[in-house]
Amino acid sequence: MGGQSICGVMLARPWVINTVYLSKRLHGAILSIVDKSPFYGPNSWSNSYGDMPEEVDEADIDNIFDTPASAQRGASTARRALLSQMGFLSWLMKCKLNALDDLSTDDQAFVQSLHLAERPKRGIIFDLSRDYHEINFPHWIANDVPIHYAWTENEEGNPRFVRYSPVFMNDCDDLREITGFSSSSRYHGGP
């Protein structure tokens, strides 16, 4: 009897390298702006404003995954981390005038190449498990703001989030369509 063969799935190496590179560049730009800001000093940031988005950890995506589904989850986690970093950097640049002045010439060119200021902002992305106590769903829905969040086993197993389940929300949308209520009617006296 021969040895066991090892079978696994890896993410494409160029994608891993580019993802980690982008994450490091975004993280560096965020830290440069935060470190040089009079109100966002590094010592007061996490206490007053919550955690900054973390870098993509190369070890999390540059390994052998057991299944294609686990590789896809690893890639999705990395993509969400990049989106979080880009959104945070965009927000910082809106909050702090001349934020680009806090960056090196190379970092300025990198951030400008992202065109964050010109990109349309289409909704709100949040971490349901982390941000649920600060989210005002009726406000966002009443103002037709698209809401985006990851639905994972974490959220599915938490009874607090049963009304945010994609299956539950689709069923509610179907019911509103059948009964003739608009999507935001539940916040204006509807069912």
Copy the structure tokens of residue 35. 């470190």
CA distance 62 to 10: 7
* Per-residue model confidence (pLDDT) at position 41: 54
* pLDDT tens digits, 162-188: 888 888 888 888 888 888 876 544 443
DSSP 147: E
Question: pLDDT tens digit string along 30-84?
Answer: 988 888 776 555 555 543 445 678 889 888 888 888 888 888 888 888 988 888 8
pLDDT over 90 for what percent of the chain?
Answer: 13
For residue 150 the two structure tokens come to: 């990851």
**What gap in Å lies between CA 86 and CA 23, rounded to an integer?**
9
SS (H, E, C) 61-95: HCCCECCHHHHHHHHHHHHHHHHHHHHHHHHHHHH
Check residue 180 and give its pLDDT: 80
